[in-house]
Amino acid sequence: MNKEAYNYCIFLLSKRDYSRYKIKQKLKTRKYTEEEIEEVINYLVENTYLREEQYTKVRIKSLAYRGYSSSYIKRKLKEEQIFVELEFIDTILDDEHIIKEESIERLIAKKYKQEPKSFEEKMKIKNRILRFLISKGYSYNDILNHLPKALK
Packing angle of the helix pair 70-79, 52-65 (nearest 10 deg): 140
Kindly state whether residues 41 and 58 are assigned to the same domain. Answer: no
Kindly state whether residues 80 and 105 are assigned to the same domain. Answer: no
pLDDT digits (tens, 9 = 90+) for 7-59: 999 999 999 889 999 999 999 999 889 999 999 999 999 998 998 899 999 99
pTM: 0.83
- Domain count of the fold of the chain: 3
Does residue 114 surpass a pLDDT of 90?
Answer: no
Query: Residue 72 belongs to what domain range?
Result: 53-95
DSSP classification of residue 114: S
Kindly state whether residues 67 and 46 are assigned to the same domain. Answer: no
Q: How does residue 65 score in pLDDT terms, banded at 50, 70 and 90?
A: very high
CATH code: domain of residue 27: 1.10.10
Kindly state whether residues 84 and 123 are assigned to the same domain. Answer: no
Q: Give whole-number Cα distances, 89 to 57, 69, 128, 142, 144, in Å.
A: 8, 10, 27, 18, 24
Q: Give whole-number Cα distances, 66 to 70, 103, 137, in Å.
A: 12, 9, 12
Does residue 150 surpass a pLDDT of 70?
Answer: no
Kindly state whether residues 8 and 46 are assigned to the same domain. Answer: yes
Using a pLDDT cut of 90, give the percent of the chain over it. Answer: 68
